[in-house]
Amino acid sequence: MDLRLTPDQLALRAEARAFSERLRPLLEADPEWRRQGLLSDGDSRAVTEELGRAGWIGLPWPTELGGRGLGHLDAALAEEVFGYHWLPLSLYLLSSKTIGAALERFASAELKERLLPPVARGELVFCQGFSEPGAGSDLGSLRTRAVLEADRFVVDGHKIWTSSAHLAEWIYLAVRTDPERPKHHGISVLVADLATPGITVRQFPTLGGGSLCEVFLDGVEIPRTQLVGELHGGWEVLMHTLDFERITAEKLGGVAWVLDGVERHLEETGRVESAREHVARLRGELEAARLLSFRAAWLLDRGEPAAAASAMAKLAGARVTQRVADAACDLLGLSTRPDRLRKERVANCGPDPERA
């Protein structure tokens, strides 16, 4: 992998930076923006629509489906810039980066032509129905049942932790279609309009701001044409989906912004020399996590297996996020109070020349 960015990639990042700066008034007018946690926690239909209008959704998709025909690495490079500028990206990440990527690979031509262009325009957003009361990290234990009857599936079950379901139009569902097979071999993936009779979305607030949802499915009829991939072959589709989900360049952009803020505060209070080694070590860890994310995206572009690489990228990103947050609290003390940090986010979200 060549670690040097091409002129086109540098231009793409500059374009993403200019776009993010233009959105500042929209962000500052939204009170929820000041309350969101990481970028994947932030919901905004307005920002998603702006991303669609500017052509940022579905960058790796073919132009006939609304994309730009670029690569997954290009998308990760742009997402890092969006993260540094703290754009609320939950709807984008679900609809484009993860679910959209799986639809582009596994859905029928008719289903792709029906769903991906409006997703690319920012007009249609998805939520993801994976977790259940008895199946979280052990996704293979899911129990939501889909029975094939002629040309339709009848679905009954309960999904939890369904981010953005209160804003979405469609849901991407992992269901059990053959309970007699080994648990990883009797799963299928369906997509459904959330307005379908029998689907109920219940929204509840979280302590950190924003909302989560649970989704109830009671005798929901979904046409067989909305099957993604092979019948009973959903595990492959789900694992491919997670390969994209684990590339968290946007979160690392947000972490870079935090680390820049920590260093700026230390300089302003005359304490930067005493913490220089600590900050330098964190920057090294952050750079390693960035490169792991970019390598996973590069492997996906080459059509090579990326499960291990994306899992390593996810772990490295989570660890450096925790360490930067801990360091901010240790080094800045009461300056890391949420009310102060939110004011700082508004005042100092300018581009770092390297990150953004």
pLDDT bracket for residue 39 (50, 70, 90): low
Q: So what's the pLDDT on residue 20?
A: 95
pLDDT, tens digit (0-9, with 9 covering 90-100), for 134-166: 887 888 899 999 999 999 999 999 999 998 999
* Annotation: CATH topology of 242-347: Butyryl-CoA Dehydrogenase, subunit A; domain 3 (1.20.140)
**In the chain, which segments carry CATH 1.20.140.10?**
242-347
By CB neighbour count within 10 A (0-12 exposed, 13-18 middle, 19+ buried), where does 308 fall?
A: exposed
pLDDT bracket for residue 78 (50, 70, 90): very high
Helix (H) or strand (E) holding 340: helix 338-347
Q: What single DSSP character describes residue 97?
A: I
* Alpha-carbon torsion, ordered 307, 98, 210, 14, to 10 deg: 100
Residue 189 CA to residue 209 CA, distance in Å, equals: 30
Q: So what's the pLDDT on residue 265?
A: 87
Q: Where do the DSSP E strands lie in 163-313?
A: 170-176, 187-193, 199-205, 211-223, 227-228
Which of 63-67, 169-173, 223-227, 341-345 comes out lowest in average pLDDT?
A: 341-345
**Phi then psi for 281, rounded to 5 degrees?**
-65, -40
Q: So what's the pLDDT on residue 338?
A: 54
127 beta partners: 171
What average pLDDT is seen over the chain? Answer: 90
Are the C-beta atoms of residues 313 and 296 closer than 8 Å to each other?
yes
Q: So what's the pLDDT on residue 356?
A: 52
Q: What single DSSP character describes residue 135?
A: B
- Helix, strand or coil for residue 188? strand
- Stretch 204-215: mean pLDDT, rounded? 82
Higher-pLDDT residue of 145 and 261 is: 145
Q: Which residues contact 280 (CB under 8 A, 6 or more apart)?
A: none
Question: Is the per-residue pLDDT at 339 higher than 60?
Answer: no
Q: Which residues contact 18 (CB under 8 A, 6 or more apart)?
A: none
pLDDT, tens digit (0-9, with 9 covering 90-100), for 186-209: 999 999 999 999 999 999 887 766
Are the C-beta atoms of residues 139 and 174 closer than 8 Å to each other?
yes
Helix (H) or strand (E) holding 148: strand 145-149
Question: Is the per-residue pLDDT at 352 higher than 60?
Answer: no
Question: Is the per-residue pLDDT at 344 higher than 60?
Answer: no
Long-range Cβ contact pairs of 103-108 (< 8 A, separation 24 or more): 103/191, 103/228, 104/58, 104/60, 104/61, 104/65, 105/240, 106/189, 106/228, 106/229, 106/237, 106/240, 107/191, 107/228, 107/229, 108/225
Question: Is the per-residue pLDDT at 347 higher than 60?
Answer: no
Q: So what's the pLDDT on residue 335?
A: 65
Residue 296 CA to residue 198 CA, distance in Å, equals: 39
Which token pair is 17? 């930076």
Question: Is the per-residue pLDDT at 340 higher than 60?
Answer: no
Residue 287 CA to residue 255 CA, distance in Å, equals: 11
**In the chain, which segments carry CATH 2.40.110.10?**
128-233
> Does domain 128-233 fall into CATH 2.40.110.10?
yes
Residue 278 CA to residue 29 CA, distance in Å, equals: 36
pLDDT bracket for residue 283 (50, 70, 90): very high
Q: So what's the pLDDT on residue 101?
A: 93
pLDDT bracket for residue 346 (50, 70, 90): very low
- The model's pTM: 0.89
What is the second-level CATH architecture of the domain 7-124? Orthogonal Bundle (1.10)
